[in-house]
Copies of this chain bind each other. A is one copy, B any other.
Amino acid sequence: RRQKPCTLRELELTVSELGLGYESDETVLLRYCSGKCTAHRHNYDITMEHMMRTGFKKKGRKDKVINGPCCRPTAFEKDFSFLDNNSRYHTIQNVSAKNCGC
């Protein structure tokens, strides 16, 4: 089970399946970021992991921190417009990733 690095993935969906509340049978090629950022971690991340496990508790802290770089979009595709099932046009921004990074 090799840890796949953070990359751009694609999935064909209807607009309704985006979960944004629009009802439209038009389809969209949703691009999203998934995979591991293990190789981009720093000493900070190892320390945060350790603190999350035991360190914070010992110091009476309840912080929840991210213990590694996140695989996230570094840019989004331009606006996407469609006609919903009530024949009305909508334009939505920043729904599909253009490229990803840690």
Contact = CB atoms under 8 A, between A and B. Distances in A.
Interface of A: 9, 11, 13, 17-20, 30, 32-34, 42-44, 46-51, 53, 55, 58-59, 61, 63-66, 69-73, 76, 92-97
B32 A65 contact: yes
Contact of A59 (B11, B42, B51, B72): B11
5 contacts: A11-B59, A18-B47, A19-B55, A32-B44, A32-B48
B95 A55 contact: no
Q: What copy number does this chain have within its complex? A: 2
A43 B9 contact: no
Given A63-B9, A71-B66, A72-B66, A95 B43 contact: yes
